[in-house]
Amino acid sequence: MMTMASAPRLAAGAGLSHALAVTGLALAIFALLVLAAGPIGWRGGLWHYRIGLLTLMPAAGCLGVGALALSAAGLLAGLRARGRRDLTIALLGMLIGGGVSYFPWHWSNQRGAFPQVNDVTTDFTDPPSLAFSEASRKAEEGNSTAYEAYRFAGVQQRAYPDIVPARLALPPVSAFDKAVALVRARGWAIVAVDRSAGVIDAYDRSFWFGFTDDIAIRVAPDGEGSRVDMRSSARQGRGDFGVNARRVRAFLGALKSR
């Protein structure tokens, strides 16, 4: 049976748990908005992507950790006060705060895990041309379309020695048609398809920040078959977290398996 002394204590505990849970959830939502502001501002032309990656994302991570701590405290206080509503609010705050703080932590851990190569090609001496993206890169103040072999060739050969041209036992026209079909299946935006030259120009964008990678594919005769060369290059930044290498490897592997 509840004593008269315990009733005020439960009421005080309920008030504390509610304040902690609500504050934690509010901070978690604010952290989520700060995290989302990075890519939204970059896509909308409000600021450079470095503001989102190097300022807003770390700030959102710190806010998320704070929200997680407050929500956890609200959860413990709610368990003592037996407030179901506050428990739900605290759990939601922990979920959002933990999710927001995970992204900056994961991005920071991945930064040094990949070689500094943002331009991957199967042909170091005569890489497929990215001239189609030159105007867009200049407008974005992005990377040059010229292939910098002195920077990337040696690093790529050490890091991704398996990335080589795909040689197919098909006439060039058939190989070209298969490559075009695979590009479309991948959902890449096609800029140009030149069957006579055996060239496909396209680009792909990342989900979160919308970073653009330009893709050039070249199909040429190779004896009685065909040789397919590919180049995938980031418009922005020095590193790419291995995205371009994975794209080239997956595309050529799928093309050979077809």
Segments of the chain scoring below 50 in pLDDT: 1-2, 4-7, 10-12
| CB contact at 8 A, 228 and 222 | no
At residue 4, the pLDDT reads 45
At residue 5, the pLDDT reads 43
DSSP 119-147: EEES-SSSPPP-GGGHHHHHHTT---SS-
At residue 10, the pLDDT reads 46
Cβ atoms within 10 Å of 142's Cβ, excluding its own: 19
At residue 7, the pLDDT reads 47
Q: Give backbone dihedrals phi and psi of 129, rounded to 5 degrees, phi first.
A: -75, 145
| CB contact at 8 A, 131 and 201 | no
At residue 1, the pLDDT reads 47
Residue 90 to residue 93: CA distance in whole angstroms:
5
